[in-house]
Structure 1
Amino acid sequence: MTDYGHTLSFGLSLDPDVNRLDETRLLATAAEDGGLDYLAVQDHAYQPGHLDAWTLITHLATRTRRVSFLTDVADLQLRPPAMLAKAAASLGVLAGGRTVLGVGGGAFADAIAGMGGGRRGGGEMVAYTEESLHVMRAALSGGGVRLRSDQHTIEGYAAGPVPPAPIPLWLGAQGPKMLAVTGRAADGWVSPLNIYVPPAEVPGKQKTIDEAARAAGRDPAGIRRIYNVIGVIGDVRGGPGLAGDARRWADTLTEWAVELGFDTFVFWPVAEHRVQLDVFAAEVVPAVREQVARTRGQR
């Protein structure tokens, strides 16, 4: 049993498809009205039908007031860390601090290279990502950044502006080396979708993060754990990910919180997005909050 005790939070993944922009705008305001905590946008800039993640987030930030935005996750191969920190800090200022920076090393090497990004893999990618986290942390604090290494040449960046609230750095990771980077240097772990990292694999990955955190002198309980959950809420069978009625969803997410250690769930509906969002916000989220609070109170 692993429960790190964080306050639960919930989000909705928004599709950056340019042809779904009107629906995306409506979903963003509906998610905020429904009390969700995060709007998450994936970052695959090499997809010709995708809007740029930062541009879309900035646009949506002007149409919302409370909900925070999460890059899920920003591609470090196409967004160098000092510039990415500048963008995140700027959005933090413009949106009143409603920003979480989810980042990843980049999953599709050919597509990244085709757009002009680096082609890194293996240990080189791990080193690049870990150094990038340190660069971004320094830049977000408004300090000077200078780094010469095999992966970065930053000759002297006077960082700023400083956002009104600290911007968390959450790392998308799956393999053991990148999970260890999460434990050493990130504020949170963004797990890939539950169809890619099924629940049975989670305890081993949490253990890798925790061991790396302790070895670096960090408290594992300070690291947030985020699960991207794809599926369908309703009387359905089959389909990708989690499928079942609202009660099954509430029971399952409760188990994943108190048994697997996740504190944040980002919902990726596969159909009828507005209908699914309404059920998620009105029925699933309150039930999970209540059940987790009850379980914690009984310990």
Structure 2
Amino acid sequence: MSSQKPLFGTGISTAVGDIEESLRLAVQADRQGLDLVTVSDHPYYAARLDAYAQVGVVLGRTERVSALVSVSNLPSRPAPMLARTVTSLSALTGGRLVLGMGAGGLWDEIARLGVERLGPGAAVRAFEEAVTLIRLLGGGGEPVTFEGEFYQVHDLEPAAVAVPPVWTGSVGPKSLAATGRVADGWIPGHAADWLSPRYRDARPVIDEAALKAGRDPADIVTVYNLPGVITATPVAAPRDADGVWRGGSVAQWVEELTGAVLEFGAHGFVHFRVDDGTPADVTLGRWAQEIAPAVREAVMAART
């Protein structure tokens, strides 16, 4: 079981029409003690902001919170350039970055960018190769020459700053195994949580691959995306008939997340607001100033 305190984050909109609110919520998250602000990456949609442009502005307006592109659309962001982007942002912000990595999902959309379409197997191989290369391109050292199936670089000098931790959004068995071999963290897809069949079936694949690679599975953290309402009063059923988390009062969230950390080893949670008429800043305040501190306190008390 990890001795680290659980991380708490919030997801903000990448819509061009939501710029003012998204930046305001990012600053609020920073001031109210959250660990992470996340954005999605869909560069093929004109109505969405470029994820790394948005992250750069968010980090420039904040002081403590880290940022995560969840997850980087690798096919549209070649690994050597992505390495330069994330090491530059890390250098500019004192390390306030996590590198989210995905193999690419919406290939019909990705192909419209002029990117060569890859089949599922090739996409996963390119994903694992990219993580390996990106790690080589940070932390200083001798120039890198890399001759891979998808990437070739010659005498390329690594950035002096280290590459941020790498978290993946892997879903299929091949990409899950790649996560076990090369990544530092995993964000289960489709907002699956610790009680879901998706988690129960997927996490052992990561752990087995990590062991085969000589790694400790415990070093690969699990951080959950959790949509849900945060209500002023308790709800009758925080989970629906299929067991999917829907949310509830502060106390109901605290009980659920404390159990997730202590019983299932959850490392962190990123909340996504579900509009129930509560203002976004009120919902974020409940998450950052009531739920997160209470879970951290309960976890610390249980571990001492």
**TM-score between both structures, scaled by the size of structure 2:** 0.90
Show the counterpart of 2:214. 217
Q: Equivalences for 1:157-236 in 2 at 5 Å? A: 157-160=156-159, 162-163=160-161, 166-194=163-191, 199-234=196-231, 235=233
Task: Measure how far apart 1:198 and its partner are.
Answer: 6.1
Q: Conserved in 1, the CA contact under 8 Å of 2:228 and 2:274?
A: yes
Cα distance in 2 for partners of 1:209, 1:261 equals: 15
Show the counterpart of 1:276. 283
Task: Measure how far apart 1:93 and its partner are.
Answer: 1.4
* Range with bigger deviation, 203-212 or 145-154: 145-154
2:32 is the alignment partner of 1:34? yes
1:181-217 superposed Cα distances (whole Å, 9 cap, x missing partner): 1111011112224258863432332211111111100
1:167-187 superposed Cα distances (whole Å, 9 cap, x missing partner): 111111111211111111011
2:252 is the alignment partner of 1:245? no
Count matched residues. Answer: 293
- 1:242 maps to a residue whose letter is R
Cα distance in 1 for partners of 2:267, 2:229 equals: 20
Show the counterpart of 1:255. 259
Structure 2 unmatched ranges of 5 or more: none
Q: Conserved in 2, the CA contact under 8 Å of 1:258 and 1:292?
A: yes
Show the counterpart of 1:139. 137
Structure 1 stretches of 4+ moved >6 Å:
237-240
Secondary structure of 1:66's counterpart equals coil
Show the counterpart of 1:21. 19
Task: Measure how far apart 1:17 and its partner are.
Answer: 0.7
**TM-score between both structures, scaled by the size of structure 1:** 0.91
- 1:213 maps to a residue whose letter is A
Cα distance in 1 for partners of 2:123, 2:105 equals: 11
Aligned CA distance change for structure 1 residues 196 and 141 (closer, same or farther; 3 Å): same
- 1:141 maps to a residue whose letter is G
- 2:148 maps to a residue whose letter is S
Q: Conserved in 2, the CA contact under 8 Å of 1:242 and 1:249?
A: no
Aligned CA distance change for structure 1 residues 228 and 7 (closer, same or farther; 3 Å): same
Show the counterpart of 1:154. 153
Task: Measure how far apart 1:29 and its partner are.
Answer: 0.9
RMSD over aligned CA atoms reads 2.0
Cα distance in 2 for partners of 1:269, 1:147 equals: 42
Task: Measure how far apart 1:80 and its partner are.
Answer: 0.8
- 1:186 maps to a residue whose letter is A
Secondary structure of 1:259's counterpart equals helix
Q: Conserved in 1, the CA contact under 8 Å of 2:222 and 2:267?
A: yes
Aligned CA distance change for structure 1 residues 191 and 241 (closer, same or farther; 3 Å): same
Cα distance in 2 for partners of 1:111, 1:255 equals: 39
Show the counterpart of 2:301. 294
- 2:134 maps to a residue whose letter is M
Show the counterpart of 1:55. 53
1:38-96 superposed Cα distances (whole Å, 9 cap, x missing partner): 11111111121111011111111111111111111111101011100100011111112
Q: Conserved in 1, the CA contact under 8 Å of 2:192 and 2:225?
A: no
Task: Measure how far apart 1:273 and its partner are.
Answer: 2.2
- Pick aligned residue for 2:114 from 102, 107, 116: 116
Among the aligned pairs, what percent are the same residue?
37
